[in-house]
Amino acid sequence: MENQGNTYSQLLELANSDYKLTAGEADIKGWTVQNEAGASIGKVRDLLFDPQNNAVRYLIIDLDDLGVDLESKGVLIPIGLAHLHDHDDIVILPNIHTDQFKALPYYVSGEVDQSTEDEIRDAIGSPAALRMEETIIEMDQNSFYNHHHFDRAKFYRRGNK
């Protein structure tokens, strides 16, 4: 299935692709993921990459045991929701609540499709939309990755400046 900018069957783990990080892109595999208060959330397992558009779309995060049945759960987080710590090799993931982690689908390698991405969008939502509506309206699939959740430049700015 393919829409402009959406190549669902082609998303690959960085470790299993020929993708080369470019200048300014840190190799974050194995880095700790923390919330904005500095509490550990998990570790970055890998990145999910769209080779057709030469773009990283998701962080693959193995969650810590957060005390709510989330032990060993691997999840996908859109790249634009996180950012790099100012100085340390840490990924900061602000504004994600435990209930959202619980609602995220388990990541299964090679099984990410439009339905999976829709589940992720529904679980995370857009903070402004969540305040305004009870449910997220259906996204235009042709512009799915044009959302701020996929802003790679935001991710790589240290401290999210």
Query: What are the residue boundaries of the structural domains of the chain, listed by start?
Result: 2-160
Which has the minimum average pLDDT: 15-24, 50-59, 66-75, 121-130?
121-130
Residue whose structure tokens are 């005390």 = 67
Instruction: List, for residues 95-134, the tens digit of each pLDDT value.
Output: 888 889 888 999 999 899 988 988 998 898 754 444 444 4
Class (C level, CATH) for 2-160: alpha beta
What secondary structure does DSSP assign to 126-143, as a single string? Answer: -HHHHHH-SSPPPP-GGG
The two three-digit tokens of residue 63, written as one number: 């969650």
Euclidean distance between CA atoms 133 and 144, whole angstroms = 19
Q: What residue ranges in the chain does DSSP mark as E strands?
A: 2-3, 6-7, 12-13, 32-34, 40-50, 55-63, 74-78, 83-84, 90-92
What pTM value is reported for the model?
Answer: 0.76
Q: Report phi then psi at 7, rounded to 5.
A: -120, 75
The two three-digit tokens of residue 117, written as one number: 């991405």
Q: What percent of the chain has pLDDT over 90?
A: 33
| pLDDT value for 4 | 43
